[in-house]
């Protein structure tokens, strides 16, 4: 009751100010008139009013408004301080919020599926690898026999060639089994999902569109349902459109979702593994129980099909791990870096506030002696801190939103395909919440620091001693500790940036096993069924090769199917060394079918034996070339050339090894090169392949001529993915990831260096300004400028040395945490650490040299007179 | 600067509460009543009185209402609230104890 009454009264004083004032006026005037009637003294009327207002005005909101106005006025009065503090804070805020938004989009935001926590990725396990593909027949058996999944489905990344009015166009696509979307718990926003059984061989072929494809290719028209289109030369009917927010990174960002219908060559062989599985765990089943069940099924199949399923186990991984597992460590490292930057920024602002509090000692002492309570003064600091944080946060958030757009725009298209979850990044609820928490912590820090300082110094001291000596000591001790923290943190960031930068440097200079200059690559594919006949495919290859070789500027050309260097390891084949005891096991290696001039065009080095010859086709004995890794792994201490491999097919084929090439980087730049088996294209031809062309002129200009030459031979051939080898290296996923890490952490480190150097400068300069009298006395007593330099620099040196040393220790720890992101350097790489420590040391010396010079230039007479 | 602390701290509040416990009164009447009741000893200036009244009102111990006064003018009348009555009781008891204690000491020495 009383509380409500009080609140009503306070609100009244706040919002009905004019009425309250009028009443006060009237009340006091009435009193005055009665007094006058009695002839009593008339006391000061205005002062009475003021005192009554004070009593009424004891109102939190009212005070807050007044404090805020006062704080803003104070900050305006001191624009240098305010700008520095706000910009510093905004920087830290911007970096951490922007990175957090990425972390949120990738790691925190729930995946756009129903109950995503119950979804698992399903793989086969073999030879210690746990992310092997499933074969179609294994999948059918697992689906039939398991008792632990509510449903099990498969997907396969698979581009389609779309026939359009203007020609044939390669598109991103995927094939899935009929229940794939039901397993994920996703329903199309338009039309329908695949019916059960729609993935069986006899069914009418249908396709579901992504939202993006529906918008860009079909203008978002609803009558697209039922429309027949041609994919890979076959008629297909569009049956549905997926929701806008749907994404499924493991399959890339397909425009067309078709079905896996078990009619392909690969799908008829149990030994051909080309699918990934996704399953929803049945209610109450844990991942362990599920794994035990599928493992037992795998063992059962192994007994049943010893040839194809030897040593094929099962593996399950949470789906979220499949989707974001590989970028989680990168994002967390970046978030850590941004967090450290934020720490430095906050420490910097805190020490700025300390200096300011120090300079306002007198003001505070005066206010205190005039009757301001300590609470009122602390609340003034709090308000100032909050005003700083709010302005910093607003600028920081605006900047973060811009940085997010910039960073997403900088992600190349081929990387965005792997990270579709980054689309729709923005200042959403969780990100704003994060910013709010940071702001709150910062506000607490910024209001506690000066308030703490206030309690360190007694008020009276402030008045009597003024700005003399000892008063500054409390701050100097605290301020210098803060600077050590800043320098150490900067050291950590610099060291990480140095290590990541060196990793990138080493990565881009890693031995590729080929000469990347003047090398152009292009993918070639055709929907024409006639090329599936081997002789025609070989004829096509010969025609293409001669056509291309005749182009001006072309020195040589070659082809390889299953992917060009850096494309990834692609399909693997099974083989066995003929003549060794055999118990059904297989060796597994990526296979590349290459043309005669392939290796010479790449500039690959032959270690032993010979390259393939043009005449080696299906009529001649089968031959193979192996890379050094394969020779080292399977033929240690013996000469592999002349040995025979038993190549797993039905029936098995014997291959004679005719040569060994130096390892060519077929997969990613930062992974070890696996054993690779090269077969002559003429002995296992195909209708789609990659082209490599070595030119004697600028690489870019050859691409249009190349495409034109190919279309002259057969206009039905589709070409795509044209790039120079240099571009392929530059744009490869590993280079991109390492580059982004190095640049982002490097940026953080640069800003950190700037902030901490400014911080150190502040500490030293302040210390000099506090000791001007002391320095003056010393000089008056005969101290040389050199001694003064020493006096100032000694302090700076101690601080820097402490910062660098502590930072070194922390750097090794931090680098150990990010060792997964490093390539070719150890986390305690001495040269990097030394260089980084040197940079920081020199920067610190420069920062302290300026105030030292000012100190040495002090005029003793003026310094002594200054008080 | 004259402040309500001119008297023993909190005494003025007690006096005000006590005086208006009898009947609602406006400020000037409160001051007069205190003067009369104390036999002209306690002179409460408006500098002390009104801030105290406003503070008591903000605390919810008294409420104010505009009424026509004895000389036919509008005046602000203060009334004791239930919370105020409780405060008055405890404060009065407190005062009795304090006064008794002080006078014991003063007489002894």
pLDDT tens by residue, A64-91: 788 888 888 888 888 888 888 899 999 9
What local confidence, expressed as pLDDT, does residue A575 receive? 87
**Mean pLDDT of the residues in chain A:** 86
Residue A282's pLDDT band, with cuts at 50, 70 and 90, is: very high
Burial of A124 (0-12, 13-18, 19+ CB in 10 A): buried
Do residue A58 and residue B58 have CB atoms under 8 angstroms apart? yes
Contact list in B for residue A48 (CB cut-off 8 A) is 46-47, 50
CA distance linking residue A477 with residue A798, whole number of Å: 13
CA distance linking residue A407 with residue A413, whole number of Å: 13
Looking at chain A, the whole-number percentage of residues with pLDDT higher than 90 is 40
Contact list in A for residue B59 (CB cut-off 8 A) is 6
Q: Of A625, A652, A527, A618, give the one whose Cα is nearest residue A230.
A: A527
Q: Of B69, B72, B47, give the one whose Cα is nearest residue A41.
A: B47
The reported pTM is: 0.77
Contact yes or no for A525/A562 (Cβ under 8 A): no
Q: What are the tokens at A250?
A: 């493991």
Question: Is A55 at the interface with chain B, CB within 8 A?
Answer: yes
Do residue A2 and residue B60 have CB atoms under 8 angstroms apart? yes
Do residue A48 and residue B63 have CB atoms under 8 angstroms apart? no
Residue to test with chain B: of A30, A40, A43, most B Cβ within 10 A? A30
With a cut of 70, say whether residue A596 has pLDDT above it. Answer: yes
Burial of A201 (0-12, 13-18, 19+ CB in 10 A): exposed
Do residue B58 and residue A43 have CB atoms under 8 angstroms apart? no
What local confidence, expressed as pLDDT, does residue A149 receive? 95
Contact list in B for residue A30 (CB cut-off 8 A) is 26-28, 69, 73-76
Contact yes or no for A705/A711 (Cβ under 8 A): no
Question: Is B76 at the interface with chain A, CB within 8 A?
Answer: yes
Task: Give the end-to-end CA distance of chain A in Å, rounded to a whole number.
Answer: 59
**Contacts (Cβ under 8 Å, ≥6 apart) of A142:** A122, A134, A152, A277, A294, A297, A298, A314
With a cut of 60, say whether residue A482 has pLDDT above it. Answer: yes
Q: Is the ipTM of this complex over 0.90?
A: no
With a cut of 80, say whether residue A611 has pLDDT above it. Answer: yes
What confidence tens digit (pLDDT) does each residue in A704-741 have? 888 888 888 888 888 888 889 988 888 888 888 899 88
Contact yes or no for A37/B70 (Cβ under 8 A): no
State how far the alpha carbon of A349 is from the alpha carbons of A416, A442, A491, A791, in Å: 37, 9, 19, 26
From A85-99, A376-390, A567-581, A657-671, the region with the lowest mean pLDDT: A567-581
Residue to test with chain A: of B58, B73, B77, B82, most A Cβ within 10 A? B58
What local confidence, expressed as pLDDT, does residue A351 receive? 84
Higher pLDDT, A762 or A495: A495
Contact list in B for residue A32 (CB cut-off 8 A) is 46
With a cut of 60, say whether residue A206 has pLDDT above it. Answer: yes
CA distance linking residue A152 with residue A146, whole number of Å: 9
Q: What is the DSSP letter of A426?
A: S
**Contacts (Cβ under 8 Å, ≥6 apart) of A707:** A522, A719, A722
Q: How close is the nearest chain B Cα to the Cα of A118, in Å?
A: 59
From A322-331, A853-862, B20-29, the region with the lowest mean pLDDT: A853-862
The helix, strand and coil proportions of chain A, stated in percent and rounded to the nearest 5, come to: 55, 15, 25
With a cut of 60, say whether residue B86 has pLDDT above it. Answer: yes
CA distance linking residue A442 with residue B78, whole number of Å: 47
- Name the pairing type of β-strands A206-209 and A256-259: antiparallel
CA distance linking residue A829 with residue A604, whole number of Å: 32
Q: Which ranges in A16-78 belong to alpha helices (H)?
A: 17-38, 45-56, 60-77
Do residue B26 and residue A52 have CB atoms under 8 angstroms apart? no
User: Count of CB contacts below 8 A, A vs B?
Assistant: 76
Do residue B76 and residue A23 have CB atoms under 8 angstroms apart? yes
Across-strand partners of A678? A592, A625
Question: Is B95 at the interface with chain A, CB within 8 A?
Answer: no
With a cut of 90, say whether residue A836 has pLDDT above it. Answer: yes
With a cut of 50, say whether residue B2 has pLDDT above it. Answer: no
Q: Which residue has the tokens 């506090």?
A: A770
CA distance linking residue A238 with residue A226, whole number of Å: 5
With a cut of 50, say whether residue A469 has pLDDT above it. Answer: no
CB-nearest partner of A31 from B28, B52, B59: B28
With a cut of 80, say whether residue A232 has pLDDT above it. Answer: yes
Do residue A56 and residue B52 have CB atoms under 8 angstroms apart? no
CA distance linking residue B89 with residue B81, whole number of Å: 12
With a cut of 70, say whether residue A681 has pLDDT above it. Answer: yes
CA distance linking residue A193 with residue A209, whole number of Å: 10
């Amino acid at each position: 009751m009383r509380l409500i009454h009080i609140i009503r009264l306070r609100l009244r004083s706040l919002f009905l100010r004019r009425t309250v004032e009028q009443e006060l006026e009237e009340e006091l005037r009435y009193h005055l008139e009665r007094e006058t009637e009695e002839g009593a003294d008339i006391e000061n009327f205005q002062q009475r009013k003021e005192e009554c207002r004070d009593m009424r005005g004891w109102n939190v909101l009212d005070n807050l408004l007044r404090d805020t106005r006062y704080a803003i006025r104070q900050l305006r009065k001191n624009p240098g301080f305010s700008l520095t503090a706000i910009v510093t804070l905004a920087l830290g805020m911007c970096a951490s919020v922007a990175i957090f938004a990425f972390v949120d989009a990738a790691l925190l935001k729930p995946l756009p599926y129903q109950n995503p926590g119950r979804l698992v990725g399903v793989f086969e396990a073999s030879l210690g690898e746990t992310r092997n593909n499933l074969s179609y027949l294994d999948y059918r058996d697992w689906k039939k026999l398991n008792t632990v999944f509510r449903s099990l489905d498969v997907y396969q990344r698979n581009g389609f060639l779309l026939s359009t009015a203007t020609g044939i166009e390669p598109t991103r696509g995927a094939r899935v089994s009929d229940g794939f979307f039901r397993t994920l718990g996703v329903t199309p926003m338009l039309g329908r999902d695949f019916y059960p059984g729609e993935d069986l061989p006899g069914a009418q072929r249908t396709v579901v569109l992504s939202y993006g494809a529906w918008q860009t290719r079909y203008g978002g028209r609803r009558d697209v349902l039922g429309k027949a289109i041609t994919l890979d030369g076959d008629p297909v009917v569009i049956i549905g459109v997926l929701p806008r927010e749907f994404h499924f990174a493991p399959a890339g960002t397909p425009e067309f979702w078709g079905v896996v219908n078990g009619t392909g060559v690969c799908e008829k062989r149990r030994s051909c593994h080309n699918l990934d599985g996704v399953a929803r765990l049945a209610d109450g089943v844990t991942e362990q129980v599920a794994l035990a069940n599928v493992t037992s099924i795998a063992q059962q199949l192994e007994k049943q099909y010893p040839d194809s399923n030897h040593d094929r186990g099962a593996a399950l991984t949470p789906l979220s791990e499949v989707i974001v597992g590989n970028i989680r460590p990168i994002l967390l490292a970046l978030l850590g870096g941004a967090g450290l930057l934020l720490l430095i920024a906050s420490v910097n602002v805190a020490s700025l506030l300390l200096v300011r509090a120090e300079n306002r000692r007198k003001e505070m002492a005066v206010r205190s002696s005039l009757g301001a309570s300590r609470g009122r003064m602390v609340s003034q600091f709090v308000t100032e801190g909050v005003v700083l944080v709010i302005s910093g946060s607003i600028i920081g958030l605006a900047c973060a939103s811009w940085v997010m757009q910039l960073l997403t725009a900088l992600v190349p298209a081929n990387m965005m395909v792997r990270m579709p979850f980054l689309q729709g990044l923005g200042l959403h609820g969780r990100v704003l919440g994060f910013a709010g928490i940071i702001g709150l912590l910062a506000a607490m820090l910024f209001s506690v620091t000066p308030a703490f300082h206030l309690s360190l110094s007694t008020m009276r001291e402030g008045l009597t001693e003024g700005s003399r000596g000892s008063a500054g000591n409390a701050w100097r001790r605290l301020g210098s500790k803060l600077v050590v923290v800043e320098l150490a943190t900067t050291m950590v960031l610099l060291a990480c940036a140095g290590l990541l930068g060196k990793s990138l440097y080493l990565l881009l200079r890693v031995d590729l096993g080929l000469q990347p200059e003047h090398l152009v690559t292009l993918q070639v594919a055709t929907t024409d069924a006639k090329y599936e006949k081997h002789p025609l495919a070989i004829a096509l290859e010969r025609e293409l090769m001669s056509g291309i070789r005749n182009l001006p500027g072309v020195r040589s050309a070659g082809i390889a199917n299953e992917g060009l260097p850096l494309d990834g390891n692609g399909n693997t084949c099974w083989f066995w060394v003929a003549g060794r005891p055999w118990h059904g096991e297989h060796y597994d290696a990526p296979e590349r079918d290459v043309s005669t001039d392939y290796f010479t065009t790449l500039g690959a080095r032959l270690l032993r034996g010979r390259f393939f010859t043009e005449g080696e086709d299906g009529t001649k004995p089968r031959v193979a070339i192996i890379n050094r890794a394969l020779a080292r792994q399977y033929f240690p201490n013996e000469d592999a050339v002349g040995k025979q491999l038993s190549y797993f097919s039905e029936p098995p084929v014997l291959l004679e090894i005719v040569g060994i090439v130096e390892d060519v980087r077929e997969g990613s730049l930062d992974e070890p090169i696996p054993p690779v088996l090269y077969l002559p294209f003429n002995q296992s031809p195909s209708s789609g392949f990659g082209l490599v062309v070595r030119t004697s002129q600028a690489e870019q200009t050859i691409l249009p001529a190349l495409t034109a030459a190919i279309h002259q031979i057969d206009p039905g051939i589709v070409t795509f993915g044209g790039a120079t080898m240099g571009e392929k290296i530059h744009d490869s996923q590993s280079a991109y990831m390492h580059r982004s890490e190095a640049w982002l952490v490097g940026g953080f480190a640069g800003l950190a260096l700037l902030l901490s150097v400014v911080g150190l400068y502040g500490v030293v300069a302040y210390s000099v300004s506090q000791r001007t009298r002391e320095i003056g006395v010393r000089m008056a007593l005969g101290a040389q400028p050199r001694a003064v330099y020493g006096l100032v620099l000694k302090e700076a040196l101690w601080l820097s040395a402490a910062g660098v040393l502590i930072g070194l220790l922390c750097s090794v720890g931090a680098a150990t945490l990010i060792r997964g992101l490093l390539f070719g350097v150890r986390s305690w790489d001495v040269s990097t650490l030394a260089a980084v420590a040197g940079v920081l040391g020199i920067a610190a010396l420069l920062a302290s040299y300026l105030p030292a010079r000012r100190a040495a230039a002090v005029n003793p007479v003026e310094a002594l007179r200054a008080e | 600067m004259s402040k309500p602390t001119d008297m023993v701290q909190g005494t003025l509040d007690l006096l005000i509460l006590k005086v208006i416990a009898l009947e609602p009164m406006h400020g000037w009447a409160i001051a007069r009543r205190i003067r009369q009741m104390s036999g002209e000893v306690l002179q409460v200036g408006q500098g002390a009185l009104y801030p105290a009244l406003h503070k008591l009102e903000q605390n919810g111990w008294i409420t104010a209402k505009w009424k026509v006064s004895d000389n036919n003018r509008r005046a602000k009348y203060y009334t004791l609230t239930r919370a105020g009555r409780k405060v008055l009781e405890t404060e009065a008891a407190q005062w009795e104890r304090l006064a008794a204690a002080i006078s014991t000491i003063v007489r002894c020495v």
